[in-house]
Amino acid sequence: MHTGRSLRRRCAARTRAWITLAAVLTPLAAASAAGEPGPTLFGFTAQQAPAELSAEQRFDGALNAADLRAWLKNLASAPNQVGSPHDKANAEFVRDLFRQWGWQAQIEVFDVLYPTLRQHSLELVAPGYFKASLAEPPVEGDATSAAAGIMPPYNVYGADGDVTAELVYVNYGMPKDYLELARRGVDVKGKIVIARYGSGWRGLKPKLAWEHGAIGCLIYSDPHEDGYAQGDVYPKGGWRPPEGVQRGSVLDVTLYSGDPLTPGVGATKDARRLAIADAKTILKIPVMPISYADAQPLLAALGGRVAPAAWRGSLPVTYHIGPGPAKVHLSITSDWGLKPLYDVIARIPGRDSPNEWVVRGNHRDGWVFGAWDPLSGQVAMLAEAKAIGQLVKSGWRPQRTLVYASWDGEEPGLLGSTEWAEQHAAELAARAVLYLNSDSNARGFLAAGGSHALQHLVNQVAGTVQDPETGVSTQARLRARMLAEGYARSPAEDEDADEARREARLAAAGGDLPIRALGSGSDYTPFLQHLGLTSLSIEYHGEDDQAGVYHSSYDSFDHYVRFGDPSFAYGVVEAETVGHVILRMADADVLPFEFAGFADTIGAYAEELHHATDERRRKSAELARLLDQNAFGLAADPTRVVAPPAREAPVPQLDFGPLDAVVARLKASAHAYDAAYARLLAGELKPDATRRARLNALLQGMEQKLTEEQGLPGRAWYRHFVYAPGMLTGYGVKTLPGVREAVDGNRWDEAAAYIPISAAVLARYCDAIDAATALLH
């Protein structure tokens, strides 16, 4: 589902300090000279480490890039969206591979609401006439682009409808865009809006349009974002051609993911289901994705005000806002029936601790062929499974049970993973020590995110995996990238520059590199944010042109082997990285958690809350002064009237004391545990088997301590109080979300209420760390 581009946290602690050249070069040189990581194997004593490293070396030796290429070509040979014949065929193919390699594999079936397109049409009916093609023609050199059975582009879970109305251009269709429309006196009530992809998750665009009174929504891919403004278009280059369309789900996953009719329970045949009209995550207006070839005549027919400079894309037209005189007729009908999902679940029972599970997943369904998204990640996971099977045949067995999952139905709304997680919620809560996810994979840099108690483990593994393009470790290459981006990016020009420079400071310090917080957009969501399981996402990307064919019929094998990972070297690197994490989580006597990184990260999130609140207070006061001085009125062009921004209520003082106090306690508790764990690995502490079992049981449930049963405000399904997707970002993460969402929404009473609630959640986590420390002694 996700684009393969890193989701950056907005860092509130602003800084303008430049990193000196010495700070840039010294850690990098030291890392290269020393060969990251250090001499110890985190999670293992000196006596245990050689056996673990031997298993990992044998695992690496079993990985074969030719396997990945062959599997990808087969899996992406026909359309494999939910309900297609090839979707089921792929499930059976993957199940049979697992069985061939010695895994216990089966297919679990869930029945979900999945609207399949019956018909759609789009016409410009005034001032002229134009009929949109709503199709992607074959491309020379792309064998599958002319295949039969390609589902036409559509946005699943948009409403059926037949509407005709004036058109309004709303830029990205995000909240700040509607504020700008209001300042210009433009109302979308009773209109059809056209928004461009970008700046926020697609499902928010029609949702916000409906909330503002629109009766239909078109979403198009502007070449400014992923077409000829970025590079040569397919087939000459990798970027989106004029007729390319980004399909996608508009299911309101900010409320809950999974089948819209069975929230909170698995969508089995006998599950109780909501009526479609009562499903809160289904959109209320028709939504249609279109190409920039189809969008250009519509935009050219718009009149009204010329769009602000920041709203203008790269099409050869003057961007107007409207409304009218362009009027469009939009019609969509879908088959709103149940469709089967085929989740492939494979197991290797653990030798000593079979009731502790290490769970690994990647989805298998695509929007059409899905070579990039998701099959590039799927084949890397299959390579891991084959290599583990060879280890088992050689006599090795994991200490803990391995569970590998090939998910179906991720693209429509994380359906397969969510239904399985909800169906097996009690088992997972009691047994899962890790859920590790991936999605797409390509040339580039390590992109890791998730539970920060595993940040050190991820760093140590990345320090041992060699980047195939440079020969240094993937950790060293990522460190270099963070340093270079921190130097190059200017806060005045780039809203992500503060985050880049924060990462650069951490990289320059020479320790662990930060992993990102996870919002939503892939199958980790039900495991992390609903069940509260320790979770990771690990992929490689950053040197690819995948965005140009994202969710289109041109996301094909032929495109991937030209522009993604031609040699499949990064597929092998992905399998090595993830495989080593899986093996270490499976075999460490005591689960390899380190809490200092988590504590420091929580401290940074708390600082961001302070800064965000102070910045809103400053901006509110500044706006009031400017309004009192009539500054906007005096500065405005009288021939192009733009109303001033609306006055904001003053920002009250918030008492962050409970949160600051628990952060201090968290850092102390983390330091004590990490010191004791280091003594365990050094052989200085030797808890008996009973205490180790109690300790692992406690660590297994650590992430669950960060959840609350009542969930987050307005969306009880999301229970995690450290990481959640934003209500107005969709995929993008909000950290300490109970407080942060309220601060960002100027809901000050709610923010004040959730500071002590969030502090209490973190205090409970501290209690668990302290109990774990006691068990080590």
Please choose, from the candidates 425, 424, 458, 476, the residue with its C-alpha nearest in 3D space to the C-alpha of residue 535: 458
pLDDT in tens, 222-240: 999 999 999 999 999 999 9
In one letter, which amino acid is 102? Answer: G
d(CA 501, CA 330): 46
Is 410 a known active-site residue?
yes
> Tokens 């800064």 sit at which residue?
611
d(CA 94, CA 96): 5
Percent of the chain past pLDDT 90, that is, above it, reads: 90
| Residues forming beta bridges with residue 331, ordered by sequence position | 121, 162
Q: In this model, does residue 9 exceed pLDDT 70?
A: no
Three-state secondary structure call for residue 264: coil
> Could you tell me where the beta strands, DSSP code E, fall in 259-317?
287-290
Q: In this model, does residue 10 exceed pLDDT 70?
A: no
pLDDT mean across residues, the chain: 93
Top pLDDT among 730 and 250 is at 250
**DSSP state, 233?**
B
Three-state secondary structure call for residue 525: helix
Q: Are 748 and 742 in contact (CB under 8 A)?
A: yes
Among the ranges given (315-319, 505-509, 689-693), the one the predictor scored with the smallest mean pLDDT = 505-509
CA distances to 77, 620, 754 from 747, rounded to whole Å, are: 50, 14, 11
Q: How confident is the model at residue 464, as a pLDDT?
A: 96
Q: How confident is the model at residue 2, as a pLDDT?
A: 52
Instruction: Using DSSP bridges, classify how beta strands 432-438 and 161-169 pair: parallel, antiparallel or unpaired.
Output: unpaired
In one letter, which amino acid is 655? Answer: D
**DSSP state, 703?**
G
- Write down the catalytic residue from 166, 180, 384, 410: 410
Please choose, from the candidates 661, 663, 625, the residue with its C-alpha nearest in 3D space to the C-alpha of residue 644: 625
pLDDT in tens, 400-415: 999 999 999 999 999 9
Among the ranges given (35-44, 254-263, 384-393, 394-403), the one the predictor scored with the smallest mean pLDDT = 35-44
Q: What is the rounded average pLDDT of the residues 164-177?
A: 98
- The greatest distance separating any two alpha carbons of the chain, rounded to the nearest whole angstrom, comes to 82
Q: In this model, does residue 567 exceed pLDDT 90?
A: yes
> Could you tell me where the beta strands, DSSP code E, fall in 422-558?
432-438, 444-450, 535-542
Q: Are 380 and 571 in contact (CB under 8 A)?
A: yes
**DSSP state, 170?**
-
Please choose, from the candidates 409, 361, 364, the residue with its C-alpha nearest in 3D space to the C-alpha of residue 538: 361
d(CA 708, CA 762): 11
Q: What is the rounded average pLDDT of the residues 649-665?
A: 97
pLDDT in tens, 45-70: 999 999 999 999 999 999 999 999 99
**DSSP state, 278?**
G
| Residues forming beta bridges with residue 195, ordered by sequence position | 219
* Both structure tokens of 350: 């653990």
> Tokens 């809350």 sit at which residue?
609
pLDDT in tens, 72-125: 999 999 999 999 999 999 999 999 999 999 999 999 999 999 999 999 999 999
Q: How confident is the model at residue 37, as a pLDDT?
A: 42
d(CA 8, CA 501): 12
| Residues forming beta bridges with residue 342, ordered by sequence position | 109
Q: What is the rounded average pLDDT of the residues 172-189?
A: 97
d(CA 730, CA 197): 13
Q: How confident is the model at residue 486, as a pLDDT?
A: 87
Could you tell me the pLDDT band of residue 546, with boundaries at 50, 70 and 90?
low
pLDDT in tens, 420-436: 999 999 999 999 999 99
d(CA 517, CA 224): 28
Q: How confident is the model at residue 492, as a pLDDT?
A: 52
- What crossing angle do the helices spanning 474-488 and 21-34 adopt, rounded to 10°? 170
Instruction: Using DSSP bridges, classify how beta strands 248-249 and 155-156 pair: parallel, antiparallel or unpaired.
Output: parallel
Q: What is the rounded average pLDDT of the residues 577-589?
A: 98
Could you tell me the pLDDT band of residue 29, with boundaries at 50, 70 and 90?
very low
pLDDT in tens, 466-504: 999 999 999 999 999 999 988 887 665 555 666 776 777
Q: How confident is the model at residue 488, as a pLDDT?
A: 81
Q: Which value, to the nearest 10 degrees, does the dihedral of the CA atoms of residues 416, 421, 427, 428 take?
A: 120
Q: How many residues in total does the chain contain?
A: 777
d(CA 550, CA 543): 15
Q: How confident is the model at residue 495, as a pLDDT?
A: 57
Q: How confident is the model at residue 641, as a pLDDT?
A: 86
| Residues forming beta bridges with residue 538, ordered by sequence position | 448
pLDDT in tens, 308-347: 999 999 999 999 999 999 999 999 999 999 999 999 999 9
d(CA 494, CA 498): 8
Q: How confident is the model at residue 503, as a pLDDT?
A: 79
Q: In this model, does residue 18 exceed pLDDT 60?
A: no
pLDDT in tens, 121-165: 999 999 999 999 999 999 999 999 999 889 999 999 999 999 999
Three-state secondary structure call for residue 345: strand
* Both structure tokens of 144: 């599958």
CA distances to 326, 383, 412 from 557, rounded to whole Å, are: 39, 18, 22
In one letter, which amino acid is 245? Answer: V
